[in-house]
Chains A and B, each alone.
Chain A
Amino acid sequence: MYTHLKFYHPFVSSFDPCKPILEKKYSTPPHLYIGFQPPNLPQFSPFEALKAGTLWKDFYDPWFNTYEKQMGGVLP
């Protein structure tokens, strides 16, 4: 499945003092892939846009913490 979250797996030593995090993630938001904004992209309704922080659906990329993700996140 395509996602803007990318993952990598750092080296784990048998002498690491803390419990190793096997998978690290980082964000690559949609604007990194779009370049100069093409015309006629799909838009949110004005109300949704005010809530989302953008008029453009293609640029919308909300961030949720672990707890919020368990609750399913919230979309506009």
Chain B
Amino acid sequence: MWIYEKKLQYPVRVSTCNPTLAKYLIEQYGGADGELAAALRYLNQRYTIPDKVIGLLTDIGTEEFAHLEMIATMVYKLTKDATPEQLKAAGLGEHYANHDGALFYQNAAGSPWTATYIQAKGDPIADLYEDIAAEEKARATYQWLIDLSDDPDLNDSLRFLREREIIHAQRFREAVEILKEEWDTKKVF
């Protein structure tokens, strides 16, 4: 069960009407390494992982939904008053034809989200290594988004999200160490 808090994890402010940026940000909404894929991946893997790290997957999976909501807010704000002409100029004409101004789970190139982006192998190490890789890929995506963006307010929120990816990767790495059950011993391999 979840308890919903009706506020964003971190404030999202947008300085300019910039639908092109929204087109890029969609990568983190419905892309392979986006927040939706992350949330669904962790919350699904947690059923078949040792008890010691279930809580970690629950916590991080839940936080990914908070990030998803931030990205949704960014995309919404960047496009909400854009005219069809502006959307067309931003390369979002195809999106407008299919969805009007609605958000959709797709990547920056317009491919719809698919469950093939995520895996649950049932092997705890394989799954956690995938999770570490997913966090590092999301961190890199945020770097490229910040590089593409000229909106200082938006970048502030993107920097927060990138830092969270670093922390999540760290915690997944620690989870691997916990499962190896040797992390606090003095053994040299």
Q: In the complex, which of the residues B143, B155, B174 contacts A36, with contact meaning CB atoms closer than 8 Å?
A: B174
Tell me how many residue pairs across A and B have CB atoms closer than 8 Å.
67
B139 close to A29 (CB less than 8 A): yes
A63 close to B159 (CB less than 8 A): yes
A53 close to B174 (CB less than 8 A): no
Cα(A60)–Cα(B10), bound, Å: 16
User: Closest B-chain residue to A27, C-beta based?
Assistant: B143
From known contacts A34-B170, A36-B174, infer whether A74 and B156 are also in contact, taking CB-CB under 8 Å.
yes
Q: Which residues between 46 and 72 of chain B lie within 8 Å of chain A, taking CB atoms? A: none
Cα(A34)–Cα(B170), bound, Å: 9
Cα(A62)–Cα(B161), bound, Å: 10
User: Closest A-chain residue to B169, C-beta based?
Assistant: A31
B146 close to A53 (CB less than 8 A): no
B170 close to A53 (CB less than 8 A): no
- What's the nearest-Cβ distance from chain B to residue A26, in Å? 9
The answer, yes or no, to whether B150 is at the interface (CB within 8 Å) is yes
The answer, yes or no, to whether A65 is at the interface (CB within 8 Å) is yes
From known contacts A63-B142, A65-B149, A67-B150, infer whether A53 and B167 are also in contact, taking CB-CB under 8 Å.
yes
The answer, yes or no, to whether B123 is at the interface (CB within 8 Å) is no
Residues of B within 8 A of A53 (CB): 10, 159-164, 167
- What's the nearest-Cβ distance from chain A to residue B4, in Å? 20
Cα(A31)–Cα(B166), bound, Å: 7
Residues of A within 8 A of B81 (CB): none
- What's the nearest-Cβ distance from chain A to residue B122, in Å? 25
Residues of B within 8 A of A37 (CB): 170, 174
Interface flags for B110-140 (1: CB within 8 Å of A; 0: not) read 0000000000000000000000000000011
Interface flags for A17-49 (1: CB within 8 Å of B; 0: not) read 000000000010111001111000000000000
B173 close to A60 (CB less than 8 A): no
A65 close to B155 (CB less than 8 A): yes
User: 3 closest pairs, A vs B, by CB?
Assistant: A53-B163, A31-B170, A53-B160
Can you list 7 A-B pairs, Cβ within 8 angstroms, ordered by A? A31-B169, A36-B183, A37-B170, A52-B163, A53-B163, A54-B166, A65-B155
